Amino acid sequence: MANNDLVALNYTLHHHASRVNTVAVSPDGDRLLSGGDNTEIVIWDILTGEKVQVLSCTFNSPVRALVWTPETPGLAPGFTFGCADGSIHIYQHIEASSQYQYLMQELVHNGPVLDLKFDAQFVRLASVGNGFPQVSQLLSMEGDEIFKTF
């Protein structure tokens, strides 16, 4: 049991109709992403506990992994999530708004995406699925290609 002097519950966030599989706190500490078996991503305001945006991905499968992506040359800040069908989805922040918009998706694994990490220095996305890691390069939106897998 947690020591009450060290841990204080701020909010219990309610939205997902089924199990939540993954969460991620934004680099600035203001937002929380949650994703789960109901194929939705919820963006929460950590300071108030309010929902900022709900993204439905019903055409795919349960959300298994989430990672925030900071602003990099040619790409706005946002987040990436991985699904049980092996796809990853990239969303970007809409400037002067609290909303995020879809940028792209890519099938990167033959099984569930189990974890995601982002390397801001070299703008790379590492993913784990069907027993092996994979590294993909995120490219500038200005070219024809946004995503390249090694």
Instruction: For residues 8-24, give the mean pLDDT.
Output: 91
Which of 5-19, 74-88, 132-146 has the least mean pLDDT? 132-146
CA dihedral 101, 94, 106, 27 (to 10 degrees): -120
pLDDT tens, 17-75?
899 999 999 999 999 999 999 999 999 999 999 999 999 876 678 999 999 999 887 78
Predicted confidence band at 4 (pLDDT cuts at 50, 70, 90)?
Answer: low
Residues 127, 82: contact at Cβ < 8 Å?
A: yes
pTM: 0.87
Locate the domains of the chain by residue range. Answer: 20-149
pLDDT tens-digit series, residues 81-128? 999 999 999 999 998 888 999 999 999 999 999 999 999 999 999 999
CB atoms closer than 10 angstroms to residue 33: 23
Fold for the domain defined by 20-149: Methylamine Dehydrogenase; Chain H (2.130.10)
Cα-based angle 35, 36, 40 (whole degrees, multiple of 5) = 60
Whether residue 70 contacts residue 77, with contact meaning beta carbons closer than 8 Å, is answered with: yes
CB 38 within 8 A of CB 18: yes
Largest CA distance in the chain: 53
Nearest to 65 by CA among 121, 108, 3: 108
What is the rounded average pLDDT of the residues 131-147?
75
